[in-house]
Structures are given as C-alpha cells and as structure tokens.
C-alpha cells in the first residue's frame, strides 16, 4: 500500500476523444457518516453490476484517502490495492456485488474547500467537479448515476441540523448526546451532486405550489442572526420556480428544496440535488448591507442553481468536456430570467459588458479554449468565462436563429429525450435540429473553435443602392492556427439620418461565409447602420462610422442596446485617439454633446442613461490597442471624465440634489436612479470641484442603503482627502463584524486609482481581518487588484509581485482559488516588453516552487506559452 497523500500529482492531460464508458453500473449507494469535525468516519456501500463484456476490476478514484476497510457481499475483502491515490478492487468473474469501503477523514484540515470541510463550526460538502473522491472511493465521474440513501449521525448540540439530498425518511436520537437522520434521494444522480450539511442553522421557510398542484417546502438555512437577510433569496427562488414552469414547462420534482449558506466557498454556489449550497454572498441581502448589484447577484445565482435542477441534474453531463452543456445553457436561462424580472435592456448591456471584460481577453490569450475543450489537466481550471458566458451566447444564438417557439420545441425535445441521462453538447445541438427544424452543421464550429470572431464591415454604394459587405475571420488560438467561418445571426437595421422614412427594417441575417454581401436597398444618402443589435452574435464588429453617425444612432436608434453601443463607440474612439497622443477638442465635444443629449432622458429611464453615459473601463480601452499603455489610458479616461464633468456640472449637481430613491425600492427605475447618482458623483469628482469630497461624504453619511454608501466610499477611496479617511474609518467601525461588508472595505481600497494602491494592498494583507482561508476575502483584496489595470500593471512590477506572492502562499491551502488568480499574469503579450518580461518572470517564479498543485501548474505553464 502506498501513502496516497505523499504521491505528487502527475501532469496528466485528459483528452475528450479518450472517453470510454465505465465498466460498472452503480444503481444504488448506501452511505453512513459518523460526523466529527476532526475525525469523520464514512462507509459507502455500492451495489454494482458489471457493464463490460469481460471481467474487469473495480477502479475507484480517491484523493488523499486511505482505506479503513473493504467488504464484498458482507465479507472482509483483501484483494485490493492502491494505485496511486486510487483503489483497485479485484472481483474475479463477478457480475454483481455489494462493495463497501470505509474511510476516515479530517474535515477541519480541509482548507481546499473541496470534499467534506468545516466552515464556521458546521460541516458541509462541495463535490463538483471531483470532490466526492476526497470523501469516499468512487468512480467519481458524471456518467455514473446512482440512487443515494445517506445515514448521518453526529453530536446533537454541535450539529442540531442534519441535511442531505432528497427527503428525510427517518431520524432519531442515539446514545451520548448524538442523533441521526436518514435521507433518500429518489432521483439517480452523479456523485458531483451529492451534498451533506451538519450544523447549528436556522431556516427561513416558505412553500411553493407547482403547476401540477404539488406543495414544495422551501428552506433557506443560515447561521442564527442572518435569518432577516434571506427574504430576497426566497422571493428569487419562488420566482425562479414559477418562471421555469411558464417559460420551459419544467416543474420541480421533490417535496423539499433546501438551500444552505456558508461563508467559506470557492465559487458562487452549487446545485446539489435538493440541497443547494451557497456562498453567503449570494444569499444574504438587506438594504443596510447589500448594494443593488448584490441584490441582482442573489437573484441571478439563486435562479441559476434552481434552473440546474433540469439543465444539469435531470439531464447531466457525460464527461467534464461537456461542462458548457449545463453551464452555458443555465447561464442563458438565468440571464433571461433576470431580464424578465427587471430591465431587459440593462440586463443585456450588463451581460455583454461581463462577456467583454472576462471572456474576450480569455479568448485572446494563452488560455483560450473552445466552449467544449479538447483536453485539460485540472477540470477546476475550466470553470471559465468561456464555458459559462460564451457558452450562454452560443445557446442564445440558437434561440435567435430558431425564434422563441421553435427554440422551445428544441428544449422540450432535449429534456424529453435525455431525462435521466448523462448527455453531450452534441445531443443538445441535435435536439435543436430535430425539434427546431434547422440544420446546425456549420454552427457546430462554435463548439470546436476558440477565439472571438472579427466581423470587418463596410458599406458599398452603387448609385442609390447600398450593400453591406461583411468579412469574417476567426483569430488563431493555441493549438488552432487555422479557422473556418462560423454560422451566426447578425441582427441589423438601417436608418436614413435625414429624417426620411427610408429604412431597412430590423432583421436577422444568417452569416455563413468568409464574405457576405447584404443588399440594403435604396438610400439617397449613406444610411446609419445599427449592427449586431442586442449583441446577436458574440463577435468584435469592426465598422468605420464617423462621430456624426454614431451620435445620431446614440440619440435615435430604437434598440437600447444599439444606442448604448453607439455612445460607447463614440467614447472609445475619442479615448483611443487621446491615448495615442492625438484626439482633439472636437472628439471630446462630440462625446459631451451625446452625453448631454442622453442625460435629457434621465428622469424617464435612469437605468439606461446610467449605463450609457458611464465611460468604458480602462481594461476595455486597453483591449482596443495593439500595446496596452495603462498609464496613458488612465490619464486619457480621467481627462475625458473631467471635461464631461465640467461642461455638464449643472446636470450632475441637479441629480445629486434631488432626493435619492428609498433603498427598499428595487424597481429598475429606483436602481437606475441610484446608479445615475453614483455616475454623477464620479464625473464631478473627476472634474476636481473642491466641494466634491464633501458631497461624497454627505452621500456616504446620508445614504439609507449600501448602494449609495458604497458608491460614495469608492469615489472617495480614489483620492487623498481627509473625507476619505473619515469615511473608511466610519465604514470599518460600523461593519467590521459583518464579513460580506468588510469585504467591500478591502475591495474599495484595492480598486483605488491612487498611485500607492499596491502598497495599500500589501499593508491590508497584514490587517488582522485579512485571511487566506476565506476565498471571498482573498478575492476582495487581490481580485480587485487584478481588476485595477493601472495598479496591477504599475511600471515597477509591484502588482505582479503581489499576485505571484499570493499564488505561492495560497497554493498549498487552496489550489483552486490560487489558480484563479493566475490568468491576469498571462496577458503579457498585450503589454510592452518591460512589463511582459516582469509578468513572465512572475509566472516562472511561481512554477519554480516545489510541490505545486496541478491547478496552478497547468495555469502558470500554459500562461507562459508564446
């Protein structure tokens, strides 16, 4: 027997083409948990049936486990061996057997937060993707589905609440102050959906009556004292259940739905069958502690995890290469839900902003991969913006190509055909083809090719006839030098700017070839083209339009997304010109006029106006440039911000003088009103008005909710006023006992545009409230730093050094979270040689560490590839 925990991880690459079905079926598993924070004893009894034609041993995956006992059909069994971290049991000629394996683990020592771990005195699990093998030996692959019966027992005072998947079918008290419960999940599921929670929790309870009239008990479990902050999550859950019935015809399938909130969690939340486990950040919200964005995050993630019950649980993934099958589809579903609950236009703008900020850079860098990857070393590294957000765009394109009715026919067929199965992306596309009556042969390239397609567009004139010429190219990405053109829906409309009624009606063209010509018909003058409306395809559209045309579209387009795009493009063109040393006052004036024009609608649609008039981020400006110059970008952006603030001073002051909408009002109008006031404060501050810090402090102190309080604090944090220190101190005093709000205190300082932000991060890392054990806290301080372009890329390399130090310190504790900090260092090709060299050496320094995790090794070594 080898000691599993001392076996170094092998850099094994797993290939999609190597998929083979598992040799055994495991229709039933009975588990027994004797729970203890330091020493939990687990028995897993698997009913197995051979599927392979020839005799095969039973190969069970483990991670850091040792065997405490093996029995076959009730008899002690010695014919087994460890194969690295895994367990191989020889079963001779047997076709069926009941195999029991005992393991003993220490949840308190589990700092990776994968498997069974302790968080704030409770015990909880995280099994996706490969955490179940840290609890018990098991094939631990998503295509092995079993019915689980789970008996759990523990100290009643320490763990008064015992939860697992499905329904509680029995419970009772045992000896020595212990108690137990038996949970049965009637639905076969893969091991990654297993969950268990034991702790001192209180529930907010409600119920939902499904469309067929069944009553479902709903509970949101939190630590005592947090119950008052679960109402928004509960409402979101009920709205999600109702929405999935109305929009997809999908009903919930158990009598009980439990949600548990835990403070220490690697990701947002997890869709375990009947027992979702959430990062507290996506459950807890009240006006005093949560911003409007936090409220939206809660609603979106509650919906996301609930929707997984069908897109993920009832139909799961055959293997992890199919991850986007459940994640892309489920993100698309939660995006549509949130659009229905609030403002559709604003939601689309936000989603595209996220795609451009997180996914486009990924697709343009060394970690680029298709939404269905061909290979990986560590699957945790593939929970990416590409799989999730680009994956959602691919589903959205199919919905656009098909229209609502045929798309629904496609999803109905998909759910009917594959209910209870572990399916593939190909299964989904085929259901769309068969149910929606469409040929998606070429469209499948979206699953195969990485890289963001470019559409180069030009207008051709022939007399009064106008034609749009669209040239498509997909850039080379690692391992994919040559690309083929993609099929995609391109939504457009053309207007005559002279006010005549010449127009090309809104329509969707399906692009196929490398070059397409779209006849627009007759226009006396060059028409204004509204292109890729609603962002119908996830591409970079390159189309030369003058400031006049963009300003006209920003004012007149009837698609709010296209209006937003036109104004952003106008700003971007001015900013890029300024960064490269050009740019004149006419560029600025065109932007100021367009912002002024948009501001006149502030009362009617504050949510849209707030989105439209905010300048593009520094990172997005950088994405437009051959070589990113972080300092010049910051200077140009601040200069434009200042110019706008000075000219439109009166409008912005007026917005701040009016009373803010009450924090309890979460309508799109109220949220937009608050957002707009934050934008106004930003402009006035950039303009350098002497009373700006007082205005910010007044907003900070008078705020009746967190949205305005945080917005004011963030604006103050950029500067060096006395008000800044006052507000930071008051905020800390008021909220230092609330972990989620304290995260904001770290975050705003890390977001600061001050030159000394890297030093501030270094100092805050020594703060008694900072800890590497809590992923939210790590992200608040260091994630915010990598999102602060000029600070992270400060010319002396201090930002890179801080992130490399963090990765090295965090890797042995929590490799998953450590690995997620690496991609910003991999963008070195986009920067000047001085910065690029320092970024590479930071990566090399990480890789030189002995005993590095597979997670960090994969991300750092791939990030170095030219």
Q: What is the DSSP string of 598-653?
A: HHTTTTT-HHHHHHHHSPPPHHHHHHTSSSB-HHHHHHHHHHHHHHHHHHTHHHHH
Q: Which is nearer to ligand TRP, 264 or 723 (CB)?
A: 264
Min dist. Cβ of residue 476 to Zn ion (A): 30
299 touches ligand TRP by CB under 6 A: no
315 touches ligand TRP by CB under 6 A: no
* 3-state per-residue secondary structure call for 372-399: CCCEECCHHHHCCHHHHHHHHHHHHHHH
Q: Which is nearer to ligand TRP, 336 or 741 (CB)?
A: 336
User: Count of residues binding Zn ion (CB under 5 A)?
Assistant: 2
Min dist. Cβ of residue 505 to Zn ion (A): 37
Min dist. Cβ of residue 383 to Zn ion (A): 9
**Residue spans of alpha helices (H) in 138-215:** none
Residues whose CB falls within 8 Å of the CB of residue 299, separated by 6 or more in sequence, listed in order: 232, 236, 239, 338, 341
**Residue spans of alpha helices (H) in 665-824:** 668-686, 692-702, 706-717, 722-735, 739-750, 757-764, 775-778, 784-786, 789-792, 798-811, 815-819
380 touches ligand TRP by CB under 6 A: yes
- Which listed option, ligand TRP, Zn ion, none, makes contact with residue 804 (CB within 5 to 8 Å by class)? none
d(CA 237, CA 231): 10
User: Count of residues binding ligand TRP (CB under 6 A)?
Assistant: 13
From residue 342, how far is each of 308, 348, 402, 649, 667 by CA, in Å? 21, 11, 25, 30, 7
Cα angle, residue 546 at apex, residues 544 and 549 outer, rounded to 5°: 110
Cβ pair 589, 616 in contact under 8 A? no
- Which listed option, Zn ion, ligand TRP, none, makes contact with residue 393 (CB within 5 to 8 Å by class)? none
- Which listed option, Zn ion, ligand TRP, none, makes contact with residue 128 (CB within 5 to 8 Å by class)? ligand TRP
Classify 182 as helix, strand or coil: strand
d(CA 781, CA 758): 10
Q: Map the footprint of Zn ion across residues 763-822, applying CB under 5 A.
A: none
Cis peptide before 129 (omega within 30 of 0): yes
Min dist. Cβ of residue 311 to Zn ion (A): 9
- Which listed option, ligand TRP, Zn ion, none, makes contact with residue 267 (CB within 5 to 8 Å by class)? ligand TRP
Q: Which is nearer to ligand TRP, 89 or 856 (CB)?
A: 856
Q: Strand 167-173 to strand 58-60: parallel, antiparallel, or no bridges (unpaired)?
A: unpaired
| Short-list 651, 650, 656, 564, CA closest to 615 | 564
Buried b (16+ CB within 10 A) or exposed e, 519-536: ebeebeeebbbbbbbbbb
d(CA 617, CA 751): 12
Contact string (CB under 5 A) for Zn ion, positions 631-650, x = contact:
--------------------
- Which listed option, Zn ion, ligand TRP, none, makes contact with residue 270 (CB within 5 to 8 Å by class)? ligand TRP
Cβ pair 140, 130 in contact under 8 A? yes
Q: Which is nearer to ligand TRP, 315 or 644 (CB)?
A: 315
Which listed residue (36, 63, 86, 128) binds ligand TRP by CB under 6 A? 128
Min dist. Cβ of residue 162 to Zn ion (A): 26
d(CA 206, CA 222): 15
Q: Which is nearer to ligand TRP, 80 or 382 (CB)?
A: 382
Phi, psi (degrees; rounded to nearest 5) at 446: -60, -25
305 touches ligand TRP by CB under 6 A: yes
Q: Map the footprint of Zn ion across residues 310-369, applying CB under 5 A.
A: 327, 330
559 touches ligand TRP by CB under 6 A: no
Classify 80 as helix, strand or coil: strand
Q: Which is nearer to ligand TRP, 277 or 765 (CB)?
A: 277
Q: Which is nearer to Zn ion, 86 or 327 (CB)?
A: 327
Classify 222 as helix, strand or coil: strand
129 touches ligand TRP by CB under 6 A: yes
- Which listed option, ligand TRP, Zn ion, none, makes contact with residue 565 (CB within 5 to 8 Å by class)? none
- Which listed option, Zn ion, ligand TRP, none, makes contact with residue 82 (CB within 5 to 8 Å by class)? none
304 touches ligand TRP by CB under 6 A: yes
Which part of the chain contacts ligand TRP (CB under 6 A), choosing from 122-130, 429-437, 626-634, 857-865?
122-130
d(CA 813, CA 818): 9
d(CA 302, CA 394): 22
Q: Cβ-count burial of 725 within 10 angstroms (0-12 exposed, 13-18 middle, 19+ buried)? A: exposed
Q: Cβ-count burial of 705 within 10 angstroms (0-12 exposed, 13-18 middle, 19+ buried)? A: buried
335 touches ligand TRP by CB under 6 A: no
Contact string (CB under 6 A) for ligand TRP, positions 82-121, x = contact:
----------------------------------------
Which part of the chain contacts ligand TRP (CB under 6 A), choosing from 19-27, 124-132, 174-182, 617-625?
124-132
Q: Cβ-count burial of 762 within 10 angstroms (0-12 exposed, 13-18 middle, 19+ buried)? A: middle
Which listed residue (185, 327, 362, 559) binds ligand TRP by CB under 6 A? 327
Min dist. Cβ of residue 117 to ligand TRP (A): 12
Q: Map the footprint of ligand TRP across residues 780-819, applying CB under 6 A.
A: none
Chain length of the chain:
866
Name the catalytic one among 153, 271, 299, 305: 305
- Which listed option, ligand TRP, Zn ion, none, makes contact with residue 240 (CB within 5 to 8 Å by class)? none
Q: Which is nearer to ligand TRP, 387 or 432 (CB)?
A: 387
Contact string (CB under 6 A) for ligand TRP, positions 159-198, x = contact:
----------------------------------------
d(CA 181, CA 174): 10
Min dist. Cβ of residue 124 to ligand TRP (A): 11
- Which listed option, ligand TRP, Zn ion, none, makes contact with residue 587 (CB within 5 to 8 Å by class)? none
d(CA 245, CA 235): 16
305 flagged as catalytic: yes
Q: Which is nearer to ligand TRP, 286 or 305 (CB)?
A: 305
Q: What is the DSSP string of 327-362?
A: HHHHHHHHHHHHHHHS-HHHHHHHHHHHIIIIIHHH
Min dist. Cβ of residue 327 to ligand TRP (A): 6
383 touches ligand TRP by CB under 6 A: yes
378 touches ligand TRP by CB under 6 A: no
H or E stretch at 507: strand 503-511
Q: Map the footprint of ligand TRP across residues 235-294, applying CB under 6 A.
A: 266-267, 269-271
Q: Which is nearer to ligand TRP, 305 or 618 (CB)?
A: 305
618 touches ligand TRP by CB under 6 A: no
| Short-list 615, 631, 619, CA closest to 786 | 619
Q: Which is nearer to ligand TRP, 277 or 590 (CB)?
A: 277
Cβ pair 398, 447 in contact under 8 A? no
| Short-list 572, 578, 489, 538, CA closest to 364 | 538
Min dist. Cβ of residue 376 to ligand TRP (A): 13
Q: Which is nearer to ligand TRP, 360 or 383 (CB)?
A: 383
Eight-state DSSP code of residue 854: H
Q: Which is nearer to ligand TRP, 117 or 792 (CB)?
A: 117
Min dist. Cβ of residue 33 to Zn ion (A): 26
Which listed residue (43, 112, 126, 472) binds ligand TRP by CB under 6 A? 126
Binding site for Zn ion (CB under 5 A): 327, 330
Binding positions for ligand TRP, rule: CB under 6 A: 126, 128-129, 266-267, 269-271, 304-305, 327, 380, 383
Would you name the residues annotated as active-site residues?
A: 305
């Amino acid at each position: 027997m080898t000691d599993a925990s001392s076996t170094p991880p092998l850099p094994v690459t797993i290939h999609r083409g190597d998929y083979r079905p598992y040799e055994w079926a495991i229709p039933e598993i009975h588990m027994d948990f004797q729970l203890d924070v330091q020493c939990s004893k687990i028995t897993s009894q698997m009913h197995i049936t051979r599927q392979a034609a020839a005799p095969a041993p039973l190969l069970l995956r483990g991670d850091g486990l040792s065997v405490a006992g093996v029995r076959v059909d009730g008899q002690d069994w010695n014919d087994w061996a460890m194969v690295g971290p895994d367990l191989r049991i020889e079963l001779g000629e047997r076709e069926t057997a009941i195999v029991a394996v005992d393991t003993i683990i220490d949840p308190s020592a589990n700092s990776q937060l994968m498997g069974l771990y302790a968080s704030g005195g409770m015990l909880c699990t995280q099994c996706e993707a490969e955490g179940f093998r840290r609890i018990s030996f098991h094939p631990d692959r998503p295509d092995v589905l079993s019915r689980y019966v789970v008996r759990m027992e523990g100290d009643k005072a320490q763990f008064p609440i015992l939860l697992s998947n499905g329904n509680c079918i029995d419970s009772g008290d045992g000896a020595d102050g212990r108690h137990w419960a038996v949970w049965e999940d009637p639905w076969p599921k893969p091991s990654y959906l297993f969950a268990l929670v034991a702790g001192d929790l209180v529930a907010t309870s409600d119920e939902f009556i499904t469309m067929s009239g069944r009553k479902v008990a709903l509970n949101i479990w939190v630590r005592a004292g947090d119950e008052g902050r679960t109402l928004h999550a509960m409402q979101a859950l009920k709205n999600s259940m109702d929405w999935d019935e109305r929009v997809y015809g999908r009903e919930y399938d158990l009598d009980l739905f439990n949600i548990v909130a835990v403070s220490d969690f690697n990701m947002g939340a997890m869709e375990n069958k009947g027992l979702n486990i959430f990062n507290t950040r996506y459950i807890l919200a009240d006006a005093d502690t949560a911003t409007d964005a936090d409220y939206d995050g809660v609603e979106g993630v509650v919906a996301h995890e609930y929707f997984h019950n069908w897109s993920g649980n009832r139909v799961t993934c055959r293997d992890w290469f199919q991850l986007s099958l459940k994640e892309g589809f489920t993100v698309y579903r939660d995006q549509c839900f949130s659009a229905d609950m609030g403002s559709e236009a604003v939601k689309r703008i936000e989603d595209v902003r996220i795609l451009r900020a997180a996914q486009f850079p990924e697709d343009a860098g060394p970690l680029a991969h298709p939404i269905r990857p061909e290979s990986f070393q560590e699957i945790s590294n593939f929970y990416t913006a590409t799989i999730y957000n680009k994956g959602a765009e691919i589903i959205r394109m199919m919905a656009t190509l098909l229209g609502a009715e045929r798309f629904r026919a496609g999803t109905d067929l998909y759910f009917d055909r594959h209910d209870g199965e572990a399916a593939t992306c190909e299964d989904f596309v085929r259901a769309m083809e068969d149910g929606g009556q469409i040929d998606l042969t070429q469209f499948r390239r979206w699953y195969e090719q990485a890289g963001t397609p470019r559409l180069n567009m030009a207008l051709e004139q022939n007399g009064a006839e106008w034609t749009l010429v669209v040239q498509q190219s997909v850039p080379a990405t690692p391992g994919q030098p040559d690309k083929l053109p993609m099929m995609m829906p391109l939504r457009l409309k053309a207007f005559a700017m002279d006010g005549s009624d010449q127009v090309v009606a809104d329509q969707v063209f399906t692009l196929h070839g490398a070059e397409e010509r779209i006849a627009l018909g007759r226009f006396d003058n060059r028409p204004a083209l509204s292109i890729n409306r609603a962002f119908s395809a996830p591409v970079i559209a390159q189309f030369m339009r003058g400031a006049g045309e963009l300003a006209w579209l920003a004012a007149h387009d009837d698609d709010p997304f296209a209006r937003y795009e036109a104004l952003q493009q106008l700003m971007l063109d001015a900013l890029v010109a300024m960064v490269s040393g050009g740019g004149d006052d006419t560029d600025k004036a065109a932007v100021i006029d367009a912002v002024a024009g948009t501001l006149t609608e502030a009362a009617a649609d504050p949510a849209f106006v707030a989105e439209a008039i905010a300048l593009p981020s520094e990172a997005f400006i950088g994405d437009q440039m051959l070589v990113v110059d972080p300092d010049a970008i910051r200077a140009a952006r601040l200069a434009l911000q200042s110019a706008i603030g000075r000219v439109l001073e009166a409008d912005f002051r007026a917005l701040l003088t009016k009373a803010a909408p009450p924090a309890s009002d979460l309508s799109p109008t109220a949220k937009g009103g608050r957002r707009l006031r934050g934008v106004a404060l930003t402009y006035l501050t950039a303009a350098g008005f002497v009373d700006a810090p007082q205005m910010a402090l007044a907003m900070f102190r008078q705020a009746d909710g967190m949205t305005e309080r945080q917005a004011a604090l963030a604006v103050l944090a950029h500067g060096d006023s006395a008000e800044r220190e006052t507000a930071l101190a008051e905020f800390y005093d008021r909220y230092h006992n609330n972990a989620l709000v304290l995260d904001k205190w770290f975050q705003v300082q890390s977001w600061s545009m001050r030159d000394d932000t890297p030093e501030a991060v270094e100092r805050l890392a020594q703060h008694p409230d900072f800890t590497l054990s809590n992923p939210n806290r790590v992200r608040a301080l260091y994630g915010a730093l990598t999102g602060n372009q000029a600070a992270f890329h400060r010319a002396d390399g201090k930002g890179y050094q801080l992130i490399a130090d963090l990765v090295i310190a965090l890797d042995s504790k929590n490799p998953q979270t450590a690995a997620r900090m690496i991609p910003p260092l991999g963008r070195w090709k986009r920067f000047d040689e001085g910065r690029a060299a320092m970024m590479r050496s930071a990566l090399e320094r990480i890789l030189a560490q002995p005993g590095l995790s597979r997670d960090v090794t994969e991300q750092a070594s791939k990030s170095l590839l030219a």
